[in-house]
Amino acid sequence: MTVDGTPKQRFLVCHDYGMGGCWWWVHARSAREITETFAEIWVIDDLERLADALEWDLDEVDVDDLADSGLQDLRARRNAQRSRTGFGVLSDRELLYIRQRWDGDGVLAADYLIEITNSYRTRQVEVRDTGEMIRTGLDDFPLNPPIDLWDPDLADQEITPEEFEKAWDSAVPASEDWHR
């Protein structure tokens, strides 16, 4: 990130953690500067949301001087990611497919094949260790926070569209009790 004399603008940003979010106005040179600087931060460009936010009492911070802002932890997380292989490799992708392993925490261990469109999960195949394959889509996701495509871990999880589609075609639609 270079400082090239570009004037700063005011951007509405959100750290969406699934069950809610933290919001700020950030003064920065570009939306990209914000996403390169802070992990798990989304720059909001929806005009209706921007108009609504004008009525909110949000902290205003400068990308170069955060003071005591809650954004400091998100900057530290991004700084830790920056030197790792894979950092930002997928950041400009509008569509990608990944495989993530989930080993419990109240659900069966499984691999999740995930289609991501513009940072959001759009389709998913749960491949359980039993061999059972269950597909889900947008209507099945009560929580769907955006996925930080700058995260270096995602680069190693990428799969081909063909691998995803083959699993999707082989999977059964989710039933009411698919979480068990």
| CA pair distance 163, 90, nearest whole angstrom | 18
Three-point CA angle 139, 142, 145, nearest 5°: 105
> What pLDDT is recorded for position 18?
74
Q: What is the pTM of this model?
A: 0.84
pLDDT tens by residue, the chain, 180 residues: 445 688 999 999 999 877 788 999 999 999 999 999 999 999 999 999 999 999 999 999 999 987 767 899 999 999 999 999 999 999 999 999 999 998 867 777 899 999 999 999 999 999 998 899 999 998 888 888 899 999 999 999 999 999 999 999 999 998 865 444
> What pLDDT is recorded for position 180?
46
